[in-house]
């Protein structure tokens, strides 16, 4: 296992360019925000938040053990009320799901299980489309533009009578792009008059554009829009599996009929506490920005193009087939993202802890400068 001293020695070879004065966390931050200890293989492949669940959330989970004998309905309803108040909608508009993945799947099942069409960009997050295809849906893929973002003009052109749903992942996974706010608002307003628009906002909390609108605003205006949210990313709760959908009541009631798994009490109570833990939220967002800047500096030094990211990962032009780069990096103890066709020589790398990013940087220098 490489040590921080090894990293310091390596970094001095490029004038300390990649060193960040904000990298180290304090003992108090480590206690409260629970970063993982370094593992034999650093996992930067799944867009996980390596911080959390926070100490407050873990204590809430422990205190909830005594309710393990109870069904989660009442607890879930309480969380729905909290989220409804947070977003300014009615509780009927909130659907609690087992991670956002369940929300994507049941919406696809509700609106595209009888041979209907879903229109979406490519590449994007595929869970809804893969599941819907299993139920007979057809997918109308629209390649992303030169900026690696959604081509909303082309998507809107393709909407027809057979289109049951348009899927947007915004910010997009794997490219990290966002749709310009005015274009997004105009698109949702126009497209939702013709079909349902689904906006996956898993990475919304990482957006760096000030006052960027959530499409929950469109839901509140009565538009045919469904928004997906998750506790997996900024709240550091990916393993607890809790997400939710926001839609106007008539749409929510239709989707709710296809729920297949109730969320468990421990995850529900953890989510309630996470929503109150503002210190962890701010820390999580701040650390993500800091580590992205270090990754950007590395890529600038290596002269590898990248997309300015509004997420907790960076999509960069590796100039190598990703399977080859993945193998080379794994040999050095770092796991990177899978291939995302047609961009097979682009790499998605998640932000990790400072120590994890240290090892990513060191491995990249060894791979590209050997």
* Range 100-130 burial, b when 16+ CB lie within 10 A, else e: bbbbbbbbbbbbbbeebbbbbbbbbbbbbbe
| Four-CA torsion 173, 178, 85, 55, nearest 10 degrees | 50
Residue 286, CA distances (Å) to 22, 234, 270, 289 in order = 10, 10, 22, 5
User: Any idea which of 67-76, 207-216, 254-263, 322-331 has the lowest mean pLDDT?
Assistant: 254-263
* Residues facing 306 on adjacent strands: 316
Query: Is the pLDDT assigned to residue 236 strictly greater than 80?
Result: yes
Query: Is the pLDDT assigned to residue 213 strictly greater than 60?
Result: yes
Q: Name residue, tokens 């794997």.
A: 174
Query: Is the pLDDT assigned to residue 312 strictly greater than 70?
Result: yes
Q: How confident is the model at residue 52 (pLDDT cuts 50, 70, 90)?
A: confident
Q: How confident is the model at residue 12 (pLDDT cuts 50, 70, 90)?
A: very low
Query: Is the pLDDT assigned to residue 22 strictly greater than 70?
Result: no
**Residues 121-174: tens digit of each pLDDT:** 999 999 999 999 999 999 999 999 999 999 999 999 999 999 999 999 999 999
Report the chain's terminal Cα–Cα distance, integer Å.
Answer: 20
Question: Can you tell me the distance from the alpha carbon of 125 to that of 169, in angstroms, rounded to the nearest whole number?
Answer: 7
Question: Can you tell me the distance from the alpha carbon of 254 to that of 298, in angstroms, rounded to the nearest whole number?
Answer: 48
Query: Is the pLDDT assigned to residue 74 strictly greater than 60?
Result: yes
pLDDT of residue 14: 53
Query: Is the pLDDT assigned to residue 346 strictly greater than 80?
Result: yes
pLDDT of residue 26: 77
Rg (alpha carbons) of the chain, rounded to whole number: 21
**In this structure, CATH architecture of domain 56-276:** 3-Layer(aba) Sandwich (3.40)
The neighbour count for residue 163, using CB atoms within 10 Å, is 21
Runs of H (alpha helix) within 239-338 = 249-256, 265-276, 278-302, 322-331
pLDDT of residue 20: 57
Q: Are 167 and 120 in contact (CB under 8 A)?
A: yes
Taking domain 4-54+279-369, whether its CATH number is 3.90.1150.10 is answered by yes
pTM of the model: 0.92
Domain ranges of the chain: 4-54+279-369, 56-276
Classified as helix, coil or strand, 348 is: strand
Q: What's 340's DSSP letter?
A: B
Q: Are 304 and 318 in contact (CB under 8 A)?
A: yes
Instruction: Give the residue from 149, 219, 225 showing the smallest Cα distance to 183.
Output: 149
Q: How confident is the model at residue 18 (pLDDT cuts 50, 70, 90)?
A: low
Question: Is the Cα torsion angle 120, 125, 131, 134 positive or negative in sign?
Answer: positive
Q: Are 155 and 166 in contact (CB under 8 A)?
A: yes
Question: Can you tell me the distance from the alpha carbon of 76 to that of 244, in angstroms, rounded to the nearest whole number?
Answer: 11
Residue 69, CA distances (Å) to 72, 262, 370 in order = 9, 14, 58
**Residues 237-270: tens digit of each pLDDT:** 999 999 999 999 999 999 999 998 778 999 999 9
Average pLDDT, the chain: 92
Strands 243-246 and 94-97: antiparallel
pLDDT of residue 15: 45
């Amino acid at each position: 296992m490489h040590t921080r001293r090894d990293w310091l020695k390596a970094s001095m070879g490029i004038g300390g360019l990649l060193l960040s004065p904000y990298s180290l966390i304090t003992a108090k931050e480590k206690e409260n925000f629970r970063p993982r200890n370094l593992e034999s293989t650093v996992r930067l492949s799944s867009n996980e938040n390596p911080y959390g669940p926070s100490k407050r959330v873990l204590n809430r989970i422990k205190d909830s053990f005594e309710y393990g004998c109870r069904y989660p309905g009442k607890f879930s309803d309480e969380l729905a009320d909290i989220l409804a108040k947070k977003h300014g909608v009615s509780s009927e508009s909130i659907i609690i799901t087992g991670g956002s993945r369940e929300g994507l799947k049941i919406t696809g099942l509700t609106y595209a299980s009888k041979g209907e069409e879903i229109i979406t960009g490519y590449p994007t997050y595929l869970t809804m489309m893969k599941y819907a295809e299993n139920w007979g849906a057809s997918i109308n893929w629209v390649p992303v533009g030169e900026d690696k973002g959604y081509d909303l003009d082309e998507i809107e052109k393709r909407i027809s009578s057979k289109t049951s749903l348009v899927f947007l992942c915004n910010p997009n996974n794997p490219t990290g792009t966002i749709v310009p706010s005015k274009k997004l608002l105009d698109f949702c307003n126009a497209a939702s008059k013709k079909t349902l628009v689904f906006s996956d906002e898993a990475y919304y909390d990482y957006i760096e554009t000030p006052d960027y609108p959530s499409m929950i605003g469109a839901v509140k205006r009565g538009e045919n829009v469904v928004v997906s949210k998750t506790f997996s990313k900024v709240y550091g709760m990916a393993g607890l599996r809790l997400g939710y959908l926001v839609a106007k009541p008539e749409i929510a009631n239709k989707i709710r009929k296809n729920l297949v798994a109730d969320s468990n009490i421990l995850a529900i109570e953890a989510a309630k506490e996470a929503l109150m833990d503002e210190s962890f939220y701010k820390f999580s967002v701040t650390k993500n920005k800091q580590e992205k800047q270090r990754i950007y500096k590395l890529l600038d030094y290596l002269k590898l193009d990248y997309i300015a990211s509004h997420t907790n990962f960076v999509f960069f032009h590796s100039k190598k087939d990703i399977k080859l780069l993945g193998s080379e990096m794994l040999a050095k103890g770092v796991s990177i993202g899978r291939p995302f066709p047609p961009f097979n020589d682009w790499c998605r790398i998640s932000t990790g802890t400072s120590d994890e990013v240290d090892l990513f940087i060191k491995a990249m220098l060894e791979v590209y400068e050997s």
